[in-house]
Amino acid sequence: MSELRKRTFVVTRFDPDVDHAPKTQSYEVACRPDWKVLDALNFIKDEIDGTLSHRWSCRMAVCGSCGMNVDGEPKLTCKTSLADYGDRVEIAPLANFPIIRDLVIDMDGFMEKLESVKPWILVAKQKAAEEGTNRQSPEQLAAFKQFSMCINCMLCYAACPVVSQEPHFLGPAAIALGHRYNMDSRDEGAAQRNRVFRGEGNVFACSYANECSEVCPKHVDPAAAVNQAKLNAVIDWATSFVVRREG
């Protein structure tokens, strides 16, 4: 068994029934060398302070629950090795979201944004299952696959400088998801989603900071999606005039 290393975790605490504002609380934990940040939080919860609240589940970087700001940067805590940190580690809720309790943020706004881009296959006529599967070539799949990898961990919202200024901005993950369906050869709903993209809180608010893609733990590259979505939304808008004139 390798050496344990003692670290101090400075953790945000907030109970809205008691506290006027978030505060911090420090915990000393002897950490195994192979621990992730989440392991230390779970140790605190189980052994030191049962009142600490945080979200987590799969501990394998796919459920998207455990995003937090670690030393000021948005991280998936189950995927973030403590070996990369010093003796003092600050753990705070994801930035740019209201806090419900301790490390738990309010994600209602995020869920509304996801839903607003109509993240489902829009077709004029739904096929019956008996008609069999659609053909989709590996190239057609590759056109959207990357943008379907988002786990909704919201790190990109915590990193986005536009979200921090304009809370109504659709934001990286929601735009990437809408774009994912627009790029799917089975979908016919791009015009509807492009209207959403051109509407209030629209894609054009993005300032190309690229922070979203840098923090994405799944390499979705939402910044690329936003830029492609901007272009497509403009082309779609311009084309609509041409079509209307022809009609």
In whole angstroms, the minimum distance from the beta carbon of 129 to other proteins comes to 4
Comparison of 78 and 163: residue with beta carbon closer to other proteins: 78
Within 10 angstroms of residue 200's Cβ, the number of other Cβ atoms is: 9
Least separation in angstroms between CB 16 and other proteins: 6
Instruction: Give 156 or 162: the residue with its C-beta nearer to other proteins.
Output: 156
Cβ atoms < 10 Å from Cβ of 103? 25
63 touches 57 (CB < 8 A): yes
| Distance from the first to the final alpha carbon of the chain | 75
Closer of 141 and 231 to other proteins (Cβ)? 141
Q: Which is nearer to other proteins, 68 or 162 (CB)?
A: 68
Nearest of 66, 72, 168, 43 to residue 116 by alpha carbon: 168
Instruction: Find, among 210, 207, 206, 181, the residue nearest to 193 by Cα.
Output: 181
Give dist(CA 244, CA 25) in Å, integer: 62
R_g of the chain, CA atoms, integer Å: 21
CA distance 214 to 186: 30
Cβ 157 to other proteins, closest distance in Å?
15
| Interacting residue ranges for other proteins, rule: CB under 8 A | 1-2, 15-18, 34, 45-47, 49-51, 53-65, 79, 100-102, 104, 107, 111, 114-115, 118-121, 126-127, 129-130, 132-138, 140-141, 144-145, 148-149, 151-152, 177, 181, 184, 186-187
Three-state DSSP class for residue 67 = strand
Least CB distance from residue 49 to other proteins, whole Å?
7
Nearest approach in angstroms of CB 243 to other proteins is 26
Nearer to other proteins by Cβ, of 120 and 208: the residue is: 120
